[in-house]
Amino acid sequence: MSIEVDYVRWETRALVEALMDSDTINWRRAYTIGHTRSYDEALEKDPDNAFKLGKTEDYQGGCVFKTLKEALEFLESSHFHDINWGDGKPRDPKNFSVYGLHLVNGYEDISEFDPVAKHHYLLIDSKFSKLPDYSYLTRPLSSILSELNSNETNR
């Protein structure tokens, strides 16, 4: 699958979520958070082998969110500071970003929602990828439509 096709899929999903704020469709995509520098380096070095760790004997699995909105809200919430990173060191959410998570088996790859942790856990290792820039979604819809119409007229 080409990067361009994958980009369009992420864009479409983000737009649907932004307009409907719904996760009722069982996508093979989800969202996770990761240390920006580390995740970006992993993607730059070998994007085909950039994996978020799933559940192991001594690890619950990485954080998973069904919607972009859930992931962004978690990153900005006090629950982010409650994560046990295993080393006792505090983390600054400004050093973390939201990434796309490619689920092989759909939502079967994640745990039930953990109401205490405020997220799902990843049950199997899954590829992650950088998300497109969604900042345009924060603009008024009329502005976006106007820009799209202008681009069509200029063709």
How does pLDDT run across 67-92, given as a tens digit for each residue?
888 888 898 888 888 877 667 777 88
Predicted pLDDT of residue 91: 85
The rounded percent of the chain whose pLDDT value lies above 70 is 66
pLDDT at 48 over 70: yes
Q: What is the mean pLDDT of residues 98-104?
A: 91
Predicted pLDDT of residue 121: 94
Q: What is the mean pLDDT of residues 31-54?
A: 93
pLDDT at 152 over 50: yes
**DSSP per position, the chain:** --HHHHHHHHHHHHHHHHHH----S--SEEEEEEEHHHHHHHHHH-GGG-EE---BTTB---EEBSSHHHHHHHHTSGGGGG---SS-----GGGEEEEEEE-TTGGGGBPPPBTTTTBEEBSS-EEEEEPP--GGGGS-HHHHHHHHHHHHHT-
Number of structural domains found in the chain: 1
Cα separation, 103 vs 108, whole angstroms: 8
What range defines the domain where residue 113 resides? 3-153
pLDDT at 146 over 90: no
How does pLDDT run across 102-140, given as a tens digit for each residue?
998 888 999 999 998 889 999 999 999 988 765 555 555
